[in-house]
Amino acid sequence: MINPEHILNTLRNWKIEMNSPYNDGWVQQGFKEKLSKVEEFFKPSSKHLDTAIKKMADPEALLAYENEIELYENYGGD
């Protein structure tokens, strides 16, 4: 079962890491790109990621997104 809170926590952590002065520019850029990919996924629903996350209630969309991220992280991501 997909836990929406886990997804939200992951996105929050990515945003923190993107803005963290402890990370160098490459690391910050990596997190920015991940968040941009998520924002692009929700773009048809909303112009702003925060609004899209709040509106996210479709379990099938969550599953599809989690599977996409898992594939990305396992085969094409950092």
Task: Quote the radius of gyration of the chain (alpha carbons, Å).
Answer: 13
pLDDT in tens, 20-65: 999 999 999 999 999 998 888 776 544 555 545 655 666 676 667 6
What pLDDT score was predicted for residue 2? 75
pTM, full prediction: 0.54
Spatial CB neighbours of 53, under 8 Å, sequence gap ≥ 6: 8, 11, 42
User: Which residue is it, tokens 């991220």?
Assistant: 69
User: Which residue is it, tokens 């886990």?
Assistant: 6
Looking at per-residue pLDDT, the higher value among 48 and 1 belongs to 1
